[in-house]
């Protein structure tokens, strides 16, 4: 019974997280439904165009575009719900990105950095990606987008440091923004985090 009060203390946070994750799952479901509508509209448009019904094909293509926008909105809502469920503290220097794609994570991380960048007590952010290891292929695919998103900040980004699957972002220690720099070089994954 001695543990009961602390269990009660954490229950609202657990409930809130579960609600956010349920909302994310629902948004992902809605996005998947919109994807089905996109495919159906595009197939029907192709069929209509093949039958010589150009106006009907154009209307169906417009419907596909509307569904594409809705799908994007649902995926964005899901990403935000997952991000805030995993990261309830808006001022945390540790972020958990499980359940997010790279394209979803980058703008959310960028906004988080913008909020924390000028807080003197925060010198770095540690991002737990949920991956066993961040491969060179993944680094090469996300680096250009990450660089564009972080351009206004003086940051140094290192992957798989201090351990595999982790992205370490140090404030005020940028070495430049060329995507062919040491981030993608062979020695990149061998460097240690400065202490």
The full length of the chain comes to 195
Q: How many CB atoms neighbour CB 7 within 10 A?
A: 9
Domain residue extents for the chain = 4-86, 94-190
User: Rounded CA gap, 16 and 27, in Å?
Assistant: 16
Mean pLDDT of all residues belonging to the chain: 81
Question: Hey, what CATH topology would domain 94-190 get?
Answer: Ribosomal Protein S8; Chain: A, domain 1 (3.30.1370)
User: Rounded CA gap, 20 and 14, in Å?
Assistant: 10
Is residue 108 predicted with pLDDT exceeding 60? yes
Is residue 188 predicted with pLDDT exceeding 60? no
* pLDDT of 3: 53
- Residue in 149, 146, 171, 170 with CA at minimum distance from that of residue 158: 170
- Residue in 137, 139, 76, 128 with CA at minimum distance from that of residue 98: 128
Query: Which range in 1-5, 90-94, 105-109, 139-143 is most confidently predicted, on average pLDDT?
Result: 105-109
pLDDT in tens, 11-22: 666 788 889 999
Query: Which range in 33-42, 95-104, 168-177 is most confidently predicted, on average pLDDT?
Result: 33-42
User: Rounded CA gap, 115 and 111, in Å?
Assistant: 6
């Amino acid at each position: 019974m001695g543990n009961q009060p602390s269990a009660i203390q954490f229950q609202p946070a657990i409930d809130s997280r579960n609600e956010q994750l349920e909302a994310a799952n629902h948004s992902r479901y809605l996005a998947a439904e919109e994807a089905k509508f996109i495919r159906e509209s595009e197939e029907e448009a192709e069929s209509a165009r093949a039958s010589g019904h150009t106006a009907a094909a154009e209307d169906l293509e417009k419907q596909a575009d509307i569904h594409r926008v809705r799908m994007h909105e649902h995926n964005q809502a899901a990403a935000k719900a997952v991000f805030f469920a995993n990261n309830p503290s808006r001022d945390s220097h540790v972020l958990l990105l499980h359940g997010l794609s790279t394209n979803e994570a980058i703008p959310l991380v960028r906004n988080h950095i913008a909020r924390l960048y000028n807080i003197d007590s925060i010198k770095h952010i540690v991002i737990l990606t949920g991956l066993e290891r961040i491969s060179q292929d993944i680094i090469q695919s996300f680096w250009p987008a990450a660089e564009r998103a972080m351009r206004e900040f003086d940051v140094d980004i290192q992957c798989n440091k201090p351990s595999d699957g982790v992205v370490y972002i140090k404030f005020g220690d940028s070495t430049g923004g060329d995507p062919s720099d040491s981030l993608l070089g062979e020695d990149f994954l061998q460097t240690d985090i400065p202490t």
